[in-house]
Each structure stands twice: as structure tokens, then as C-alpha cells.
Structure 1
């Protein structure tokens, strides 16, 4: 790839991403959804300063998100409409600086710390690790749950469409509030399930699965997969879990699940598995480093991880949604030493 000076200058521009995130956080596109409004009207609706907001709006007009049809009369463009809550996808949720998505973006200010130390940069920016920070703010935690729900809704139909006939009992490790496991149980009435997550999350999962009428087919365990996982499953599901962890911890988690599955069981890792030269995959890899000290793994990365855990070479199945299922066989050894 050959880059010109102008290309480098474009890469260095930091204002557009922040300005767009402020627009998303203030719900400017939603407030403009019913027609043009003035900066003063929008300031009253958003609790912002009218002069400062007008200056932001005019800059966003230059980016093409809004237009100023008459002096101090701002309107939506098709691009700006993508930032409304009524648009498809979850773009606004990811950009909201008051929510978990935007806060994860702000954590990228810790990239230098992460590169210097090899550990997460999130605590260097917010004074505590990601999960502790999330637990300290119920509203932010709820926004994170919404983001994960949207991701689950995109992936679960493809996951449920796989052949589960040979599975009797699936253990969802780090299964959150139970959306993925609940969907699998509804799609496959022969399945039983166990969900493991931190006690506060597990309590939410217990309520939601009961409300869905699945309590009789599903056990919920409050605990940590960093120490142990429930026995008795023949398929152990790790949905967007391993990329949160460094290789040593991920090896321990994978080995622990494989040992619980036993030689007749299997471990199913569901994540985005980028190609070696995929730019988005490389970007996600750096984000995982900053947020958690984790890693976004390629097929070769998963093969190396399985080998470190004493497991055979995994198989990788690409799903239509863009995620992949990385499958390894269970083992008789503990694999976490």
C-alpha cells in the first residue's frame, strides 16, 4: 500500500470521531427526526449550551451529517439519520459516550500504556479494570447488556441452525443473562443447559430464563470460569469470551472447559476469526489489548492456543453472520496447570 501525505493527514484527524460521538450521545439526530430545528431548540432538548451546540452542528454539517437549510435551521441528511435510534443496527449505542460503547472508545487513550506494558490500557484511563468499572455504574452496565443483546441477536440464529442433534447438555460459559442459551433451548427442545457467570449476572439470567419458561431445562451457576466450570455437559460454549483474555489465561479457560467436556465432548468457541491480513481484525486485536489485555485470534492463533492447552487442532466453521465456530474435542486431562 502506497500512502501520500494527504492520506496520512486524514488518518491523523481526531475531531470527526469525537464530534460524531457527541452528536450520538446528545441524540441530535433523534431530535431532528421530525423536522428542522434551531441550535437553541436543540440546546433546550439536550441540556447543552446553545452557542457551543451551534458550532458543533455547523462542523457536523461540513461532514455531511446535517445541513443548515436556512440560518440556524438544522436538518437531517441520510448520513445523519443513521445515528437515530430508529435506524437499523446499533450504531448509536456503540457511539454513546455515556454508555459502555463510547467509554470503550475513550479507553483507546490508553493504547500507549498498553503497548509499553503489554497489559490493558483501560485502567490507566479510568483507574479500574473494565469489568469493575462496568459494575460500578448500573446504567452503563445496562447499555453494555443492550450491545451484547444486539450482537447475540445477530449471531444466535446461525448458531441455532447448526446440527445440535448429538448434544444433550450445553454449558454456556460466561453466558451473560441467558439470551444465547435460551435461544438454543427454544430452538432445540431436546437440549438441557447450564449457564455460568458472575453471581450478579447469574441472578439476572435465572430470572430471565424462568420468565421464558426454561427454568426446568436449565441450571444457572454463579461463579467464575477462571477457577472452575460446571461438570456434566457434552458441549461447552464460549461465546465472545476468549478474546477478552491473554494467551495464558485463555489457555487455562479452554483447557478447563475441555477437561469438563471429557473425551466424548467438545468445546465450541464462537468469535470473529479474522484473516491474517484483515485490517478490521487487526484493529479489533488492538482494542482487545487496550480493554482487557486480550487478543483477537486468527485461525493460526486458535491452533496455537489449542496446542498450548494440550488439545488437537481445532476445526473452524464460518457462519453467515461473520462469526466463526472454533471447535475442539474434549480431553481427559485438566489442561489448566
Structure 2
């Protein structure tokens, strides 16, 4: 029973998020400032701040000093400059931390099968990013960090050299496409994403000397895509959407590839490389899910796509290779 209560407790989960939001791991250096002074600096209640710091000390995130509290080596992993992405994932003023608060509406998602995010914030996740540039910036940083360790393995674990041209749909800041092109000098690439990430992708391509082989176009994957690619890649895209929207995205990819082309879906697959927690994240935040193979087959079949191969890329992702059949 005590183990179940510990699993269900919100005190620690929220204490860590508030600590990151207030920047405590970054501020509590040296001997640490007195709590009263810190409360004035942060414009928070000193008694309540003391309660928060006491719990963080119990967790080992901070430790008492003669002056106040300081961040421990363990707690330093929560610093904004730690390089692990946790600050953007946990901070309540960042896209990741804000999104996770939608879990308070999980019951709504279970009852309806719809995202909880719009119920809490009045609009969907992506509309929220569009309205708040700081959220967009934190989301782009979070995605860049999330993919950093996986991209080299994805670029190396599949024979991308089979394709003369690769269209990366919803490709963010261009990390995956750049890695593919660097590993396969005979391949050219084209990325499509919203204006801000597309602009950053151009900078990434230029930094890697890929201007002559890679381009980035600002656009939506719900609109017509640049045509004629040998392969169209969807990296962690479809699981963010319900079946209706996923079907529309896949339809645009089918329009974009030439008749002998391939549509490549890279993401977690239910029953193979996806966690139950990730499934709930997709549901609560986006109204999506980590689809199983039979669901991917059904989604592809409606566009004349046949699932030719499933390649395990990492502990969390597979590559599903779809071939456009004559019916498509």
C-alpha cells in the first residue's frame, strides 16, 4: 500500500517542476543565499519556499548550508545548462512542463479518446506554440535534445543511399536529414516544417556545408508537399495525431513521392518499441497514440501503401517502410 501511495504522490513530481521553474538549481550556488533573501529575489513567500527547499533536501536535490541551501551534484542535473534537456521537460513555463499539466484532465481523455490539452488550455498544443514564441523555442530545444542521441543510429541503421532524394516531412530543425546526407554523400534532401524550425534547419544545413544538397521549405504537412522525392520520411509525426489527421498527413506524403517511391515512418510501435507511458503522453497532449503494426497497415492501405519492412532502429523506435502499390 505504501508503494502505491508513493507512486501516486504528486508532491515530489510538482516540487521538482516548481524548483526548475523558479531556477533554484541554477541559483543555489556556493553556500547558497539565505532563504529570506532568495524569497525576495524570486518574489515568493519565504515560509512556503522554505517548505519546498526542505522537501528538495529530503530528495537530495539540495543540501543545507550554514547560510541556506545549495544545489547538490545530483540536483545539478536540473540546471538549465546541464545539457540533458530536463529543464525544458520539467519547467512549467516551457512547452514540455506545461503539456504535462494536462494530465490533470486524463479522465477526460479516457472518457472521450480526445486530447486533454485543449480542455485545459483552450486550444491544441500546436496552436499554443504558435501563440507563445517562448513555448515554441523551448519545444524546439526539447526535440533537438531528445533526438540527439538517436539520430546517428537512425542514420546508420538503414540504407538511405537507396534514395537519390529524401523528403523529411515535419523534420524540425534538420538534425536527422543532415545526419542522413552527411552519411550518404549521393543523397539530396528537402525538409518541410513550419517557418521557425525550417529557418533553423537552413542554418543547420549551412553549418554542415550542405547548402548544395539540402533545402528547407516553410509549410504544413496538411498542405501539398514538394513533389518527386524517392522517399518521404515522417519522424515522430504520426503518433502526435488522431487517425483522421494522420490519414491526411500520410495522404500528402503519397502525393509527394514518385510512383516507385517509399514512405518511411520512424517512431515507436505499439508492442515493439513503445512504452505505455508514451502512449498516454500522446493521448493526453495530442489525442494520438503509439500505433501497432496492424493499425499502421490499415492506415497505409487506404492510400495504396503496402508495409514492406520493419527495421528496429533504437530501443524506442522502428522504421516502417511502405511501398506505393499500383492501386495507390
Determine if the TM-score, normalized by the shorter chain, exceeds 0.5: yes
Cα drift, residue 300 of structure 1:
4.1
> Residues 268 and 34 from structure 1, CA distance in 2 versus in 1: closer, same or farther, beyond 3 angstroms?
farther
- Greater shift, 24-33 or 307-316, is seen at 307-316
Cα drift, residue 264 of structure 1:
2.3
**Correspondence for 2:214 among 218, 227, 233:** 218
Cα drift, residue 209 of structure 1:
3.2
CA distance in 1, matches of 2:253, 2:222: 10
**Correspondence for 2:316 among 308, 322, 327:** 322
CA distance in 1, matches of 2:323, 2:160: 15
* Counterpart residue number, 1:114: 109
CA distance in 2, matches of 1:20, 1:241: 29
How many residues are paired up?
A: 327
> Residues 299 and 100 from structure 1, CA distance in 2 versus in 1: closer, same or farther, beyond 3 angstroms?
same
The 5 A counterparts of 1:52-63 are: 52-63=48-59
The answer to whether the 8 Å contact 1:266/1:328 transfers is: yes
| Structure 2 residue 245 is the aligned partner of structure 1 residue 281 | no
- Greater shift, 309-318 or 132-141, is seen at 309-318
1:154-208 per-position Cα deviation (integer Å, ceiling 9, x unaligned): 2211122132221110000011232322232233221111111234543443454
| Structure 2 residue 178 is the aligned partner of structure 1 residue 182 | yes
- Greater shift, 89-98 or 246-255, is seen at 246-255
- Greater shift, 141-150 or 311-320, is seen at 311-320
Q: Runs of at least 4 residues of structure 1 off by over 4 A? A: none
TM-score by length of 1: 0.86
**Correspondence for 1:296 among 264, 287, 290:** 290
CA distance in 1, matches of 2:103, 2:286: 11
* Counterpart residue number, 2:307: 313
* Counterpart residue number, 2:92: 97
**Correspondence for 1:209 among 200, 205, 210:** 205
The 5 A counterparts of 1:1-337 are: 5-70=1-66, 73-87=68-82, 89-161=84-156, 162-210=158-206, 212-275=208-271, 281-320=275-314, 322-334=316-328
Cα drift, residue 291 of structure 1:
1.4
The answer to whether the 8 Å contact 1:170/1:192 transfers is: yes
TM-score by length of 2: 0.89
Q: Name structure 2 gaps, 5 residues minimum.
A: none
Root-mean-square deviation over aligned CA pairs: 2.5
The answer to whether the 8 Å contact 2:262/2:323 transfers is: yes
CA distance in 2, matches of 1:250, 1:25: 34
> Residues 311 and 108 from structure 1, CA distance in 2 versus in 1: closer, same or farther, beyond 3 angstroms?
same
> Residues 258 and 331 from structure 1, CA distance in 2 versus in 1: closer, same or farther, beyond 3 angstroms?
farther
The answer to whether the 8 Å contact 1:66/1:77 transfers is: yes
CA distance in 2, matches of 1:227, 1:323: 26
Cα drift, residue 148 of structure 1:
1.0
- Greater shift, 31-40 or 156-165, is seen at 31-40
